[in-house]
């Protein structure tokens, strides 16, 4: 790996870790940076999934008390998350680079739009919960989100802000705890699949993981000096720019 690629991945990982800790959306940076270093699209995605999983696990552990309290109620969602993540991972590996490369601009655009309208998406989920749609509808929506999480993953947390209130109600910490656990399960299952039969650039993943941990750690200490809306706007501008680039590249 060339030195310029190492520096580029370290910067992208640092930015992703800091942004995830403050506002979310860092996966767009890790995946895009890995692609721009020359990795094939599928390998960039599997490597990015491996790199972001430690952060997902850490987020889940932060809600360990809630997980212990609600794990029985969350068993159906957990099973659906595992199945969906596995299906998404299989679809990614079987689809090949050409199919995934074609879908990348649309996936990045979807993730960016989801991030842009995250508040409205969460409110929409709460309105659906008030209409008492029933568990069948809720589990169906969550299954689709889980497949997306195993296939690509960027923006899946925002999508779960719409799907999880259907079963968890409007209590923020319970919804966020469920979101952290389900994200860990769906991407964790996909990563296990990638580790067994996929192609992963472990050196690139290690660089991104180390840099993202550093970025997340520092952002917690200095992040209060940067207004969150500035960070969100930066992520949105980068997301739309990357999507446009992928459409024409």
For 117-148, how does the pLDDT look when each residue is reduced to its tens digit (9 = 90+)? 877 877 777 777 677 666 778 888 899 999 99
Average pLDDT (187-199) is: 93
**In this model, does residue 194 exceed pLDDT 80?**
yes
Provide mean pLDDT across the span 178-194.
92
- Predicted pLDDT at 232: 76
pLDDT of residue 133: 61
Residue 199 neighbours by CB distance under 10 Å = 12
Please write the tens of the pLDDT for every residue from 75-134: 999 999 999 999 999 999 999 899 999 999 998 898 888 888 877 877 777 777 677 666
Residue 141 burial by CB count (10 A; 0-12/13-18/19+): exposed, middle or buried?
buried
CA separation for the pair 127, 136 (Å, rounded) = 17
Q: Rounded to an integer, what distance in angstroms lies between the CA atom of residue 53 and that of residue 181?
A: 12
pLDDT at 192 over 90: yes
């Amino acid at each position: 790996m060339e030195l310029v690629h190492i520096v580029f991945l370290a910067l992208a990982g640092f930015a992703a870790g800091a942004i995830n800790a403050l506002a979310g959306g860092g996966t767009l940076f890790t995946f895009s940076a890995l692609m721009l270093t020359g990795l094939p699209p599928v390998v960039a995605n599997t490597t990015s999934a491996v790199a972001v999983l430690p952060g997902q696990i850490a987020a889940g552990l932060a809600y360990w008390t809630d997980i212990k309290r609600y794990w029985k109620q969350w068993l159906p969602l957990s099973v659906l998350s595992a199945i969906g993540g596995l299906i998404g991972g299989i679809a990614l590996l079987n689809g090949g680079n050409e199919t995934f490369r074609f879908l990348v601009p649309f996936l990045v655009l979807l993730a960016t739009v989801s991030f842009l309208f995250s508040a409205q998406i969460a409110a929409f989920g709460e309105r659906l919960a008030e209409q008492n749609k029933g568990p069948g509808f809720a589990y169906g929506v969550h299954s689709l989100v889980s497949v997306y999480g195993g296939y690509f993953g960027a923006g899946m947390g925002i999508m779960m802000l719409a799907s999880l209130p259907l079963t968890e109600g409007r209590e923020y910490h319970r919804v966020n705890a469920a979101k952290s656990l389900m994200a860990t399960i769906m991407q964790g299952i996909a990563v296990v699949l990638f580790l067994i039969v996929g192609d992963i650039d472990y050196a690139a993943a290690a660089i991104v993981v180390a840099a993202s941990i550093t970025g997340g750690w520092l952002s917690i200490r200095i992040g209060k000096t940067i207004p969150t809306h500035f960070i969100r706007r930066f992520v949105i501008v980068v997301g739309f720019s990357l999507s446009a680039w992928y459409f024409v590249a």
